[in-house]
Structure 1
């Protein structure tokens, strides 16, 4: 399809070329041959009257003019995507849609994994693609590259809509044969124990619980620092170490590992886990459905029923 002489498919090619800065990688990403991708670049150069990508040493770099086109092309593609995906009718039972999510391994284990099992029966054509958060996650949502970002409130982009998914308490976990769980885990006992912490990403960002502990002036004796939440059980079982973990994840993990769970013996802030999406998708019926499914999954009675929260320490 042409608009004012431009094949609109070339906008997709331009976006991927700017992203990869490589004809071969762009061809691979778009499932095209390298000659076809080179031809697309040639047509783009001819239409815009600019080289767009130039070889500098062994790298291809965008021209100054190409850099000015990038945000406009990305916004155009976001608007087209919103136009295509926005519909008054969305049938999850027959839809073949793929949703792209950014979520930690904690959210994946505690919410997305059980949701995916349910959807395999209720919405078998739906695909969920999940990647771990990075320093640029909020920017990816702003660019429309992903459908949803699930993250603590501190990490959302204030320029895009966000809504509360759930509030999360934190608990203490350890090996169920650890003697400290024979009675109440007091503050003195907790602070005296060796601990497991979590730091994520290239910037080694401390998890909400670890960062909050430090802000409260409670500096623990860290014996191990993990790079993800789901490896923590491996680092506490058969040891006397303790860890602070999200309650939902702790309860999921306690069904698979010999873990004991106890309440934190002092006031500890509630974490607000948010859903963020691009404003152009606010009326996307499919995305509304998925957000509702995530809320339902995160509010299951067996997760939020506090009457049996700490039975596993008995």
Structure 2
């Protein structure tokens, strides 16, 4: 399809080249031959009157014009995706749509897994691709390569809409044989105990619980630092360690592990989990449906 003399397929080629800075890698990702990709780059250069990518050593680098063009092309492709996604009504009973969702293993275990069990019947042909959060999460939403990101507010972008998915309390959890949890904990015993903590991503960022403890001036003794929320029960069983856990995750873990939990021995802020999506997909019926299903799953899991 052409628009003002431009083959619109070349916009996807341009976006791929700007992501990889490599003709051969973009060709591989788009399932094209390298000569076909080289020819597509040549057509782009002719149309825009600019080299777009220039070779230096063994690498290719975008020109200043290509850099300025990139966000416009990305926005255009996002608009096309929105048009295609919303051009027909969404019917979960027959849709074969792929949803790409960025969510922590805590959200997966506590909310998404129970939802997917139900959707086997209610939306049997959809596919959900789960992606771990990290430094590239926001760029993936911005580039339209992920549909939803579920996260506390501080990790979300200011450039795209978000909405509250659910609120989460935190509890103190441990092995059912842990003597510390035989009676209600006080703050002194809580802080003196050995703890399991979570460090997120390659930069080992502190999770919500530890950031809040630091702001409150409370310091616990960390014996084990893990990168996954769902590994915590394994690190508690058979030990005297404690962990601050999301209440929904503690509830789910207690159904599979000899884990018990109780309220924290001091007031603790409620955590908000929000869901973010690209601004061009705000009217996407499929994403509206999925967000409503996630909200219902969060309520059902906690109260039902």
Task: Tell me the TM-score normalised to structure 2 length.
Answer: 0.96
The answer as to whether partners of 1:153 and 1:272 remain within 8 angstroms in 2 is: yes
Matching of residues 43-54 of structure 1 within 5 Å? 43-54=43-54
Q: For the residues of structure 1 that align with 2:167 and 2:82, how far apart are their CA atoms?
A: 30
Tell me, yes or no, if structure 1 residue 241 matches structure 2 residue 241.
yes
Q: Which residue of 1 aligns with 2:154?
A: 154
User: Greater shift after overlay, 31-40 or 18-27?
Assistant: 31-40
**Which runs of 5 or more structure 1 residues have no equivalent in the other structure?**
306-314
Q: Secondary structure at the match of 2:245?
A: strand
Q: Which residue of 2 aligns with 1:309?
A: none
The answer as to whether partners of 1:196 and 1:224 remain within 8 angstroms in 2 is: yes
Q: Which residue of 1 aligns with 2:58?
A: 58
Q: Which residue of 1 aligns with 2:259?
A: 259
Cα offsets for 1:139-193 (capped at 9, x unmatched): 4323333211100122222232111100000011111111112211222221111
The answer as to whether partners of 1:171 and 1:244 remain within 8 angstroms in 2 is: yes
Q: Which residue of 1 aligns with 2:196?
A: 196
Q: Which residue of 2 aligns with 1:103?
A: 103
Q: For the residues of structure 2 that align with 1:164 and 1:5, how far apart are their CA atoms?
A: 44
Task: Tell me the TM-score normalised to structure 1 length.
Answer: 0.93
Q: For the residues of structure 1 that align with 2:176 and 2:150, how far apart are their CA atoms?
A: 31
Q: Secondary structure at the match of 1:231?
A: helix
Q: For the residues of structure 2 that align with 1:182 and 1:107, how far apart are their CA atoms?
A: 28
Q: Which residue of 2 aligns with 1:187?
A: 187
Q: Secondary structure at the match of 1:91?
A: coil
Q: Which residue of 2 aligns with 1:311?
A: none
Following TM superposition, by how much is the alpha carbon of 1:88 offset from its aligned partner in structure 2, in angstroms? 5.6
Runs of 4+ displaced beyond 6 Å: none
Q: Secondary structure at the match of 1:299?
A: helix
Following TM superposition, by how much is the alpha carbon of 1:49 offset from its aligned partner in structure 2, in angstroms? 2.1
Q: For the residues of structure 2 that align with 1:57 and 1:204, how far apart are their CA atoms?
A: 34
Q: For the residues of structure 1 that align with 2:303 and 2:171, how far apart are their CA atoms?
A: 13
Q: Which residue of 2 aligns with 1:34?
A: 34
Q: Which residue of 2 aligns with 1:85?
A: 85
User: Greater shift after overlay, 30-39 or 143-152?
Assistant: 30-39
Q: Which residue of 1 aligns with 2:297?
A: 297
Q: For the residues of structure 2 that align with 1:67 and 1:160, how far apart are their CA atoms?
A: 21
Matching of residues 65-144 of structure 1 within 5 Å? 65-87=65-87, 89-144=89-144
Q: Secondary structure at the match of 1:133?
A: coil
Q: Secondary structure at the match of 2:171?
A: strand
The answer as to whether partners of 1:87 and 1:285 remain within 8 angstroms in 2 is: no
Cα offsets for 1:185-211 (capped at 9, x unmatched): 222221111001111112211000111
**Which runs of 5 or more structure 2 residues have no equivalent in the other structure?**
none
Q: For the residues of structure 1 that align with 2:272 and 2:10, how far apart are their CA atoms?
A: 41
How many corresponding residue pairs? 304
Cα offsets for 1:74-93 (capped at 9, x unmatched): 01101111111114611001
Q: For the residues of structure 2 that align with 1:78 and 1:202, how far apart are their CA atoms?
A: 29
Q: For the residues of structure 2 that align with 1:304 and 1:192, how far apart are their CA atoms?
A: 33
The answer as to whether partners of 1:87 and 1:284 remain within 8 angstroms in 2 is: no
Matching of residues 277-292 of structure 1 within 5 Å? 277-292=277-292
Q: Which residue of 1 aligns with 2:207?
A: 207
Q: Secondary structure at the match of 1:222?
A: strand
Q: Which residue of 2 aligns with 1:24?
A: 24
Cα offsets for 1:256-304 (capped at 9, x unmatched): 222111111110000010011112111111110000000011111x523
